[in-house]
Structure 1
């Protein structure tokens, strides 16, 4: 009796005519576009200008890629700098190896530069991007499927992932941890969208919720993985990172909600005031009284909702 399983691609390269495109890079690129597109919708619904998210992403994305690669190389240095390895491989980002922790940390630096140049509060921008980043991670994880990497323990479950024999890996059926994390990230994105709509999160709390909820999933998924990793007190390094970052994110949400309740009243001074009853990104409507802009309420002599 044949056992059902998820097959792995025979190659990690997609050929667009004569142009080779690695599946890992393709997933990252698609993820970035989705994050920017969805973030732009949320930013405009918050009272910002269309295109601002993309302008700041021009700073955030390159910084994030460098940060993600640095985190991976530093925490898995033995793959590049131990005896018999070629240190030049540390620059081959298309072969996989991006640490989300480094990507978010250094990407935030790039975003801060972009926001400062536009006179925009970074926490508000991060809140708008939060669910889009989670969606981007869900897409990006399929790059690991193309590279046949970051799988879990052996299993005979119907959704087991088939891994072919290769360097430092044994052929067999394994837990598809890339799929688990992809589905978890979709759930995180939906959670942030719901919570932001329900509680009107502001001042970076939507982003902190994304970070905390992602860490919960990353912790147990990381525990399932069997690829080589450094251990501290019996746990993989990334499990400890998840625990620490989760605690920091929760602490930020608690402290921020007490010190700066509600949402920002100004997200982008240069943006025009939205029309009364304008549709929001989540299907709801926002009146001119609730809109978060820097303009004063119209006087009795002005028609309601006038831009």
Structure 2
């Protein structure tokens, strides 16, 4: 069998959402990946804090704030745009292990939680945001694989060599006759990994020769992640919609504008970003 034939025969196939069962205990890939993302992100952000000579214990406390805010907000954001689906069975709102969370909801919840934390601890929000940004995007790269195991958040039908097989029960009604789809989870995971490498490289370079202004790393995260999300979202079959508008594309566009405006403020007008704490 020649190489082109082998490539055409390749496909991603999910082994299913459940990792293993032990009596009444069920361990799902989705929950495991979220836990891994939090643990790895926490460890990384503490390491970056030490390099910035920031008390790493602050990041431990911040992580608790972020988890308590981000996961419920990610779920509520998703549910809000799928309310007819949950209205008949409200208890399903709490079945987060089945999938159905939105990263933009998590980011919004995390930003609010971080702002409250920074205000209470009297530390710059932007300083914290810069320390968390590389961990955040790495966590997103890891978490996207939960969509793979749940057979969700995939793209339009395709016959590309890296096609993703989706079981019939998980396919949208209009695509029942198709077997293979774009693995948009993989596209976004790889994009996020690239953004992580960019942010970490800039962070480490800044340690040797300072050139970054406080808040710029988080602003670059907003621009870079949002740029990828816009084109990847265009491939998806399950976008959250507001009329004809894909919500994720709209929010991503706002993220890019926010990031660009912030960088112009920092480097063009040479002014500090507004913060939750004053200079005193």
TM-score of the aligned structures, taking structure 2 as reference length = 0.85
Superposition pairs of residues 147-162 of structure 1, within 5 angstroms: 147-162=150-165
Could you tell me how far apart the structure 2 residues matched to 1:150 and 1:20 are? Answer: 23
Could you tell me how far apart the structure 1 residues matched to 2:138 and 2:196 are? Answer: 6
If you compute each CA radius of gyration, which structure gives the higher value, 1 or 2? Answer: 1
Partner of 2:11: 5
Quick check: 1:188 aligned with 2:195? yes
Could you tell me how far apart the structure 2 residues matched to 1:254 and 1:225 are? Answer: 32
Superposition pairs of residues 14-53 of structure 1, within 5 angstroms: 14-15=19-20, 17-18=22-23, 19-53=25-59
Could you tell me how far apart the structure 2 residues matched to 1:135 and 1:117 are? Answer: 27
Could you tell me how far apart the structure 1 residues matched to 2:48 and 2:181 are? Answer: 38
Quick check: 1:134 aligned with 2:145? no
Q: Secondary structure at the match of 1:15?
A: strand
Quick check: 1:143 aligned with 2:146? yes
Quick check: 1:204 aligned with 2:210? no
Which residue among 206, 213, 221 is the counterpart of 2:232? 221
The verdict on how the C-alpha distance between 1:33 and 1:131 changes in structure 2, with shifts beyond 3 A counting, is: same
Partner of 2:179: 172
The verdict on how the C-alpha distance between 1:36 and 1:202 changes in structure 2, with shifts beyond 3 A counting, is: farther
CA RMSD of aligned residues (A): 2.2
TM-score of the aligned structures, taking structure 1 as reference length = 0.78
> How far 1:194 sits from its partner (Å)?
2.5
> How far 1:202 sits from its partner (Å)?
3.1
Contact 1:60 1:114 (8 Å CA) reproduced: no
* Unaligned stretches of 5+ residues in structure 1: 263-307
Contact 1:38 1:132 (8 Å CA) reproduced: yes
Could you tell me how far apart the structure 2 residues matched to 1:206 and 1:220 are? Answer: 22
Which residue among 118, 122, 125 is the counterpart of 1:119? 122
> How far 1:228 sits from its partner (Å)?
5.4
Superposition pairs of residues 241-252 of structure 1, within 5 angstroms: 241-252=251-262
Q: Going by fraction, where is helix more abundant, 1 or 2?
A: 2
Contact 2:213 2:266 (8 Å CA) reproduced: no
* Unaligned stretches of 5+ residues in structure 2: 274-280
Could you tell me how far apart the structure 2 residues matched to 1:245 and 1:100 are? Answer: 13
> How far 1:109 sits from its partner (Å)?
1.9
Could you tell me how far apart the structure 2 residues matched to 1:134 and 1:72 are? Answer: 20
Quick check: 1:260 aligned with 2:260? no
> How far 1:118 sits from its partner (Å)?
2.8
Could you tell me how far apart the structure 1 residues matched to 2:54 and 2:21 are? Answer: 37
> How far 1:251 sits from its partner (Å)?
0.6
